[in-house]
Structure 1
Amino acid sequence: MKKKIAILGSTGSIGKTLIEIIKKDKKNFDIILLTANRDYKELIKQAKILDVKNLIIINKKSYEKLKKKKLSKINIFNNYNSFNKIFKKKIDYVMSSISGINGLEPTVKIIKHTKKIAIANKESIICGWHLIKKEFKRFKTTFVPVDSEHFSIFYALQGNKISNIEKIYLTASGGPLNNISKKKFKNVKISQAIKHPNWKMGKKISVDSATMMNKVFEIIEAKKIFDLNYDQLAILVHPASYVHAIIKFKDGMIKIIAHDTNMRIPIFNSLYDNQHNDIKTDQININKLNFLNFKKVDTNKFPSINIIKWLKNRESLAETIIVLANDELVNLFLLKKLKFTDINDFLQKLINMKDIKNLSQKKSGDINAIVSLKNFIRIKINQIIK
């Protein structure tokens, strides 16, 4: 029987990678739904290749253009409330790969419609884990993380208890600025910040890698997903990006999880339920294993890492504030309205504001509260910049 699948954010890098995997095994999959924000041309192309009957496109202009195409036998929707019309019963698998905080609402809404969800959206996990986890329990939906680091931990923990973990180390490549001196950071151009040495990613996440804020987010994700304390998590710089996580257990055993620098591997395994279906990968790279070159993070060069010290183990709005503020600041950098170093400088100023400190102590709310907070954070950042 064919696996019934939906892909949220099918025109992004994760969505495209998943589609390439499915194309090689089309006979075993029935794609029920594809979604995008504005790239309707790519969405049409994907729908035709995979014979998809339902499309959601959020941007109003793109929606109107798509409707004018008059595609026969394809239902076109403009919002996520359409899930109730599209899914008559639970499907087998959902990939949630919409970037940014906009991925939270559809992720929460689709959980009840699927037996299993793979989440590649950091913001959903960081800002809405309390909402997502509640839906998992309510609808008995299985969850798989897709980030290479978190999937590696997830994979390594099979047959082990989380209570047996002493420490987890997440690896960081160091990003595109790893070999550039801090003195030159003020003059870093967008083209430099988005040129990741190992991974092909979108502009925003590439900038996060350049500031190493991406790794702060991954620490927060790991804390939430695996129910750990922040002092059980650490970061090691590993430029080759061959090892993705190291787990030290209380019994003295250590697991080092490595795979090719290729997102196909965690995506493939999340799709096939770790059934060890064949996937073509490179041979073990002995040279990389011989020169793993782990180092501690230089927090003077990458001060964003220090934000982890600001976070508490209890559930609060602190992590959400960090995500929303960083989103706004990176966007301003990409619009050439800020210098690269302003991203961290203004973020530090924000979290030191008295009303932000008070707000960070409060418990996380629902989706509407998080969206409202986004607007509030934007106003605060504009005040700081002025």
Structure 2
Amino acid sequence: MKIKKILILGSTGSIGKSTLNVIKKYKSEIKIVCLSSNKNYKKLYKQSKLFNVKNLIITDYKYFLKSKEYFKNKKINIFPNVSEYLKKNKKKIDLVIVGISGLEGLMPTIEIIPFTKNLASANKESIICGWKFIQSKAKKYKTNFIPIDSEHFSVWSLINNDKDLISKIYLTASGGPLLNSPSKNLKNINIKKVINHPNWSMGKKISTDSASMMNKVFEVIEASKIFNLKKQTIKIIVHPKSIVHAIVVFKNGLIKVLIHETSMEIPIFNIIFKNTKEYFYRKTDINFKSLNGINFIKPDTKKFPYINILNKYIFKNTYFETILVTINDELVRLFLNKKISFLKMQKLLLKFINYYSFTKYYNEFPKNTNDIYIMADKVKAYLKKNEKIFK
């Protein structure tokens, strides 16, 4: 195999670190051309030393300026954003891993597409809000798109060229830390309990989204866009062990199930080494003990009311997706800052998405990525102006 050139956006986050863990074993076969972080330039430097990376992107301008002094005598090129990096580095990359969280990941994703053969993304917000722009640009530059999230990667792996035969897709949800908590106990649930995911090690934001099941709502929207399927085709099923990641039911009577341990390194390994038979994740066999007692549960929409959003709204690349993502981001931030309770967070979101101030945009379409950012800013400004509604 020739040396693969890889760029990692968000290398200090969980997806980035998982990617580097995979690459660590194969450093002689892979060249990392660039790493990026929002603020964590000291961690970025440690990564650059370990993997001999000469180009780094620090997107928070305050920390970019700090890092310039820090890197002054270290023979490393520092850039404030992807576009500045691309001005100096125009050669096609084999693979870009997008591990940035939030809508901040949309613009770099769009900008990098012409310069990579393969784009693998775990950035939910950019897919949910800007899929039509990602898809259009990827098609124009013949860039392959591969989803990283375990559920979407599993579906992508299972369907091959049989998309027209799909009858139903089930995305599995662990149920998070609150699955077995009685609803009456959720009133005073604390942050520590909410972010203590039983199966996955994740950041506070995504752990909160998992506990509320908003994460799974987002994944259904993502899947409908990535695979061009009606949302009615995609269902959520609770599977507490989290070893089954997706189930695809076909019209020919076949049902395919994808199982792997709860590690994001497995999808990432298979993305990096797809179409090669020279490398193996590691010697493994089936752990039958973990497979025994697999159970699937219909999600409780009273405990997880966000799931009802999937029945009520149509996802057709309007401003609705951006408004939903932004409201959720702001409310999760308030919850994690102890400004509102977990239940209040849920009630407010379900209330806000019905406000006329937002619903009037649900049949309007963003014309470009900048429109998406403008709408996100409008939503934040509205919520800030009306802070009294949080009390």
Q: SS at 1:295's partner residue?
A: coil
1:82-126: CA deviation from partner (whole Å, max 9, x where unpaired): 132242211111001101111111011001110111001101100
CA 1:203/1:274 → structure 2, altered by over 3 Å: closer, same or farther? farther
Contact 2:172/2:246 (<8 A) preserved: yes
Q: How far 1:348 moved relative to its partner?
A: 1.0
Distance 1:341 1:121 in 2: 26
Q: How far 1:161 moved relative to its partner?
A: 2.1
**CA shift in 2, pair 1:109/1:162, >3 Å:** same
2:121 to 119, 122, 126: 119
CA contact (8 A) 1:172 1:238 kept: yes
Partner of 1:334: 336
**1:103–1:121 CA contact under 8 A, matched in 2:** yes
SS at match of 2:360: helix
What is the 5 A alignment of 1:302-381? 302-381=304-383
Q: Which residue of structure 2 lines up, in the alignment, with residue 8 of structure 1?
A: 9
Distance change in 2, residues 1:127/1:185 (3 Å): same
CA distance in 2, matches of 1:280, 1:288: 18
Using the alignment, how far apart are the partners of 2:370 and 2:233 within structure 1?
32
Q: CA RMSD in A?
A: 1.4
Q: Cα offset for 1:311?
A: 2.0
How much has 1:367 moved relative to structure 2? Answer: 1.8
Cα separation, 2, equivalents of 1:379 and 1:235? 33
* Alignment match, 1:258: 259
Q: Deviation of residue 64 (structure 1)? A: 2.2
Give the drift of 1:373: 1.1
Q: Structure 2: how far apart are the matches of 1:225 and 1:112?
A: 19
SS in 1 for 2:28: helix
Aligned residue for 1:76, secondary structure, equals: strand
Tell me if structure 2 keeps the 8 A contact 1:350–1:380.
Answer: no
Deviates more, 1:284-293 or 1:198-207: 284-293
In structure 1, runs of 5+ residues without a counterpart are none
Contact 1:260–1:282 (CA<8 Å) still a contact in 2?
Answer: no
Amino acid at match of 2:102: G
Matched with 2:53 is: 52
Greater alpha carbon shift after TM alignment, 75-84 vs 263-272: 75-84
- In the alignment, the residues of structure 1 paired with residue 87 and residue 358 of structure 2 have an alpha-carbon distance, to the nearest angstrom, of 41
3-state SS of the aligned residue for 2:256?
Answer: strand
Matched, 1:147 2:152: no
Q: Verify the 8 A CA contact 1:170 1:236 in the aligned structure 2.
A: yes
Distance 1:37 1:71 in 2: 21
Letter in 1 for 2:78: I
Aligned residues: 385
Give the corresponding residue for 1:280: 282
Name the aligned partner's letter for residue 138 of structure 2. F
TM-score where L is the length of structure 2: 0.95
On the 8 A contact 1:176/1:196 being kept in 2, the answer is yes
Q: Deviations over 1:195-223 (max 9, x none)?
A: 10000001100000000000000000000
Secondary structure in 2 matching 1:360: coil
User: C-alpha separation between the residues in 2 aligned to 1:275 and 1:252?
Assistant: 31
* Structure 1 residue 282 displacement after superposition: 4.6
Q: Are the equivalent residues in 2 in contact too, given 1:83–1:110 (CA < 8 A)? A: no
Aligned equivalents of 2:260 and 2:319: distance in 1? Answer: 34
- TM-superposed CA distance for 1:53, in Å, is 1.0
Q: Residue by residue, what CA displacement relative to the aligned partner does 1:307-331 show, whole Å, maximum 9, x if unpaired? A: 1112215332222221111011101
Match of 1:35 in 2: 36
1:50 is displaced (CA, Å) by 0.9
- Cα deviation, 1:33-57, whole Å, max 9, x if unaligned, reads 1000000110000011111111110
Letter in 1 for 2:6: I
- Any gaps of 5 or more consecutive residues in structure 2? none
* Distance of 1:313 and 1:75 partners within structure 2: 41
Are residues 1:199 and 2:204 paired?
no
TM-score norm. by structure 1 comes to 0.97
